[in-house]
Amino acid sequence: MSHDMRLFESRAFLLLLAGASCLFGWLLLPFFDVILWAVVIGVLFSPLNRALREGFGLGGNISALLTVLASLFTIILPLAWVLYSCAVEGVALYERIAAGSSSMAEAVDKLSAAFPAAVEWLEKYGYSAAQLKSWVSGIALKAGGFLAKNAVTFTGGAAHFLTNLALVLYISFFFVRDGKKLRALLIRALPFGDHREELLFGKFAAVTRATVKGSLLVAIAQGTLGGLIFWLLDIRAALVWGVVMTLLSLIPVVGAALVWMPTALYLLATGHYWQGGLLIAYGACVIGLADNVLRPVLVGRDTKLPDFLVLLSTLGGFTMFGMDGFVTGPMLAVLFITVWQIFMEECEEKRRK
């Protein structure tokens, strides 16, 4: 067989390989969320599986099963309960506003009385108190309607949720049990050079585990602390605001302060001085410092992504992937950083030679 014919066959086979891979990826695209969360569980809980196998001498199937059950009871079920409770409170909020509750109008009146100069300044630009009341009520109604709509979707799609949950747990079992084999198979199949692939998978797993674990646990801690102080201060829908602070805490720099700071200023403006002062002190000293205390412990100094990259990748992830974006965005940033680190290290080695 001539050289040209062998070259033609090699290129044709590579084309077939690329086409088959693209078709298979397209086939799995509807299960992107399922595979993503299965990978996350596999990465986050692999140390637990290793401890069960090496420390307690359990078999591969038993240790993987216990690891997946641990992820179910520590993350998935609590998160589902919080989201459902948040949606229920959102429905109640929506119903109160739709029924003509005057709480929003009263809040605007109190703020107008507390800051008359601000009201006069807004009126110069055509924003009257009546317009502000209508605007605030409209925003609250839309927010409550959004929560109510998603509550109905969550309840109505219970079968879909349970199906996806079962798939996540099922796939996670194999990722946890056969993680080393899958990694070795990928290293064997990918054409980037085994040493690069070893370094890539090692850094990617370490940084992804640290970033996701740090961001998620810090956000949960800040949202829990915020929801707790709201409940103690008898602020309505404390659970809803706790979930909102959790989501905002995934975004660095701004975080939960976007919720507790305006609430504290409102309390001060309406004469609730000790509640407002307590919320400011608690927010600055407890909620704010939770990030500075927990993140270095959970993430570490060496594996932490720069805050501006976390901010941009998280916002970009939310835009492109929805709620999964807080995972996919930083993961793509990790991939970008890791590939460039490998490239720069190889270039430095060549210069030294």
Query: Residue 246 burial by CB count (10 A; 0-12/13-18/19+): exposed, middle or buried?
Result: buried
pLDDT of residue 27: 92
pLDDT of residue 87: 65
Tell me what the pLDDT averaged over the chain comes to.
75
What is the per-residue pLDDT across 174-201, written as a single tens digit (0 to 9) for each? Answer: 988 888 888 888 888 777 777 777 777 7
C-alpha to C-alpha distance for 340 and 204, rounded to whole angstroms: 12
Structural domain boundaries of the chain?
194-353
pLDDT of residue 171: 92
pLDDT of residue 308: 75
pLDDT of residue 293: 74
C-alpha to C-alpha distance for 50 and 57, rounded to whole angstroms: 10
pLDDT of residue 216: 75
pLDDT of residue 149: 54
End-to-end CA distance of the chain: 41
pLDDT of residue 51: 87
0.85 exceeded by the pTM? no
- DSSP 3-state helix, strand, coil percentages of the chain (rounded to 5)? 85, 0, 15
How far is CA 179 from its chain centroid? 23
pLDDT of residue 325: 73
C-alpha to C-alpha distance for 239 and 287, rounded to whole angstroms: 16
The answer to whether the CB of 99 falls within 8 A of the CB of 59 is no
The answer to whether the CB of 303 falls within 8 A of the CB of 206 is yes
- Cβ neighbours of residue 152 under 8 Å, at least 6 residues apart? none
The answer to whether the CB of 37 falls within 8 A of the CB of 209 is no
For the chain, which residues score pLDDT lower than 50? 101
